[in-house]
Structure 1
Amino acid sequence: MDQGNTAFMLIAAALVLLMTPGLAFFYGGLVKAKSVISMMMLSFGALGLIGVLWVVYGYAIAFPGAEGLIAPWSIDWSAIGLSSLLETPEDAAYPPLAFVAFQATFAILTVALVSGAIADRAKFGAWMIFAAVWATVVYFPVASWVFNFGLAEDGSFAYGGWITYGMQEFFGVGAIDFAGGTAVHINAGAAALALALVLGKRVGFSKGAHVPHNPPFVLLGAGLLWFGWFGFNAGSELAADGTAALAFVNTIAAPAAALLAWLLVEKLKDGKPTSVGAASGAVAGLVAITPACASLTPIWAIVLGVVAGAVCALAIDLKFKWGFDDSLDVVGIHLVGGLIGTLYLGFFANGTGLIYSGDPTQLLVQAIAALAVLAYSFVLAYVIGFAIQKTIGFRVKDEDEIAGIDTVVHGEEGYKLETV
């Protein structure tokens, strides 16, 4: 067993886990003051719930072995409760549980990302039911499509999920998604769009009606997200090597460029660059570089960051033009940013991208992967959310939303000012 790589993976897992509390601060600062506890609790609720489900059966669904190529919903029954993974084979590079822990943090974060679309108006209990069902029927199978792989005894590729490996059978190349542009960001963004449509618009929804109550929280959250993202991207190599180093550098370059691009768009469009814009731009760049971090030169990573920052800065206004209330711009940042990063590889991926090979096949398989995950997640998220709304109710009453749902749902206030 390689203790260095094992330590690398465990540290990366801890970094990614930190992203969910970071997301809670990022989202919490963006909502109104009377909803900050409720908003942050959606992330912490996902942390608790998905952490348990992953151990009980999530890993067994997401990593079913060779069956995942044909039937991604298959279950490795021996992995239920992780009992079969407690011992480390003598020839293993790292303990199986290190990989389990690393992938658990991806599942937790992906579910938490969805919550940004339903800020200020969602019941906590309904959200927890949605999170459990969506993770089970959407995230765990999609993770299998992207991340499930295995090696033969001679170290050669043996099997894998249909997105990253299965399409090689038909097209000669599989889709590239190093750290989860499809499985995490397109997946979460599509589900967020579905829930925004199911729950409807907030009371008084219009441009400028809902402003962030705490920009310092937003900046703190973005900083924690960026810090954790090094584990997210570099850690996906599962080894401390040159590929991990490339992913690490690109995780600096792309979001830095996206931050600047977002601020420039804000300056040109609205006259002032904002702190929330800086944080949002950095996150947009992080989203876009996620699938591409190990397949681009640093210069092309900067170009990707510029494109993602500028386009996402414009895309967040689509909700006002098209009439859906994606409260915290999960669609504009994660869905759009994920699509940009995934499709960009079709042009600029080292070796196989169109500009290197002259062959559009890589672009084709990237598009198939992106659209398949988008459609699958959107449809099932809409069905699950609609069923919850029509049975127990997903949305709080209008009067509770206006008053602020922290005290109604959790019996707490984010800010308690007392006079002496």
Structure 2
Amino acid sequence: MIDSGSTAWVLASTALVMLMTPGLALFYGGMVRTKAVLNVMMTSFVCLAVVGVIWVVYGYSLAFGSDAWGGLIGGFGDVGMRHLDTAVVGSGSAAIPAGVFAMFELMFAIITVALLAGAVAERIRFWPWVLFVAVWATVVYIPEAHWVFALDGATGPGSVGGWIANRLHALDFAGGTAVEISSGASALALALVVGKRRGWPRDPVRPHNLPSVLLGAGLLWFGWFGFNAGSALGATAVAGTALVSTMTAGAAAVLSWLVVEQIRDGKPTSLGAASGAVAGLVGITPACAYVEPLGALVIGLAAGAICACAVRLKFRFGFDDSLDVVAVHGIGGLVGMLLIGLLASVATNPAGADGLLYGGGLGQLGRQAVAVVAVLAYSFVVTGIIAWVISRTIGLRVDAEVETEGVDEAEHAESGYDFSTVIAGTSSSRRPTGIHSSITGSRPPSS
């Protein structure tokens, strides 16, 4: 029943997608100021822990269990993953252990909620953020994952999957809706509730570590091969198609973003190259297994150029999306989902459909638009409610003084970079020697 090659590929893809969250932490950490680098990295990193526990306890069951609610949410049959040790996902030559599939899908849940941290960087309290992550993953991501990723019969005979994949028949191979559009719409709602950074946009906010941004973008690109090609759930020709599309779109988007910067600002930037790569990878995520290489090239060029222009929207409309989650992930996911309706081809993947430019008419484009609107609206409204309730009860944003001085020290008793000097006359034998003792031990008096 189990195909060893497909299982090995999904195991490797799971590790690749897991690496994307530390990569995102580096990517985000380099883009903020030194006084907030640890906080923004922690808000991404802690998602591994919070969502990891939720997924085992009830998240996987609700996302991929069979439902009786018209494709809206799964059931509680696999709470605690108690049936996964003997279950399989798929059939025939591509069957893999259900536990491997569950861990692969867990990594999608983690990276999706971690993306939201970029919208409120430099002004968020840690423990209220942890609560937000838990609630958002439960009431936003898990239902949407069921809508998009849960296929009828995939996790067991007679299992009922989500309405977008099985009733609407919109195409979304690796998460253009449940991951990208969901995170973009949720980031907008979260930024509106939390409010602008002090001094924004009057005071300049410059990235403090561009090498970290480039390294993080490179790790994201590396992990994205597992994200997209791994979604084939097997070592198959479809995985190969997704791999080619992923590389092609990412490369094209880097160039189109840099061209926009050159025309608009007079210089191509390293931050633009990193952002362009991510925009192209976002755009191709839903389409990677349904389009030809030239279609992937078009999607990458479009995503890079459109997202590069979209970063100006926050200044025009006055919402402080600190690290451009809305422009890159929301708009990029929208571009990719809609272009499926134009560029998809059954010659590439018989499980897909022909887009408008391949003789398929407007039907598939309409289905793609319905999926986009449904996920966008649900994510925006529910995220806004969650953020508003937490803000009005325990408080989600740090105090003004903390934001000015730096959230790292106030929230974590640490700083990203220690530039202090050794105090004259201090005996080396009396200094703390371990990193944790240096953090929690007594501090020297300020000079």
- TM category (shorter chain) comes to over 0.9
| Residues 290-325 of structure 1: CA deviation (Å, up to 9, x unaligned) | 000001101111111111000100101100000000
In the alignment, structure 1 residue 238 sits paired with structure 2 residue 233:
yes
Distance 2:152 2:360 in 1: 30
| Aligned 8 A contact 2:19 2:223 in 1 | yes
Deviation at 1:206, TM superposition (A): 1.2
One-letter code aligned to 2:385: V
| Aligned 8 A contact 1:66 1:150 in 2 | no
Distance 1:27 1:304 in 2: 25
> Matched residue of 1:84: which SS?
coil
Name the counterpart of 2:381: 379
Distance 1:255 1:340 in 2: 14
Distance 2:202 2:175 in 1: 31
Distance 2:239 2:412 in 1: 42
Q: Paired residue for 1:229, among 224, 241, 252?
A: 224
After TM superposition, the score normalised by the length of structure 1 is: 0.95
Name the counterpart of 1:17: 18
Distance 1:138 1:357 in 2: 36
Name the counterpart of 1:103: 105
Distance 2:200 2:380 in 1: 23
Identity of aligned residues (%): 55
Name the counterpart of 1:39: 40
| Residues 348-389 of structure 1: CA deviation (Å, up to 9, x unaligned) | 111420111251010100000001000000000000000111
> Matched residue of 1:151: which SS?
coil
Name the counterpart of 2:73: 73
**Stretch moving more, 128-137 or 59-68:** 59-68
In terms of fraction of residues, the more helix-rich structure is 1
Q: Paired residue for 1:195, among 165, 185, 190?
A: 190
One-letter code aligned to 2:30: G
> Matched residue of 1:206: which SS?
coil
One-letter code aligned to 1:101: M
After TM superposition, the score normalised by the length of structure 2 is: 0.89
In the alignment, structure 1 residue 270 sits paired with structure 2 residue 265:
yes
Number of residue pairs the alignment of both structures matches: 411
| Aligned 8 A contact 2:152 2:166 in 1 | no
Name the counterpart of 2:297: 302
Distance 1:119 1:146 in 2: 29
| Residues 216-259 of structure 1: CA deviation (Å, up to 9, x unaligned) | 11001000000000000000000111110010011100010000
Distance 2:297 2:270 in 1: 21
| Aligned 8 A contact 2:253 2:304 in 1 | yes
> Structure 1 residues 330, 299: CA separation in 2 closer, same or farther (over 3 Å shift)?
same
Give the root-mean-square deviation of aligned CA atoms. 1.8
Deviation at 1:152, TM superposition (A): 8.3
> Matched residue of 2:205: which SS?
coil
> Matched residue of 1:233: which SS?
helix
Distance 1:353 1:66 in 2: 31
> Structure 1 residues 89, 50: CA separation in 2 closer, same or farther (over 3 Å shift)?
closer
- Matches of residues 12-411 of structure 1 in structure 2 within 5 Å? 12-67=13-68, 70-75=70-75, 77-88=76-87, 93-151=95-153, 159-167=160-168, 174-206=169-201, 209-351=204-346, 352-411=354-413
| Aligned 8 A contact 1:65 1:149 in 2 | no
Distance 2:331 2:126 in 1: 27
When Rg is computed on C-alpha atoms for both structures, the one with the higher figure is 2
Deviation at 1:180, TM superposition (A): 0.2
Distance 1:89 1:203 in 2: 52
Distance 1:368 1:357 in 2: 20
> Structure 1 residues 362, 207: CA separation in 2 closer, same or farther (over 3 Å shift)?
farther
> Structure 1 residues 152, 197: CA separation in 2 closer, same or farther (over 3 Å shift)?
closer
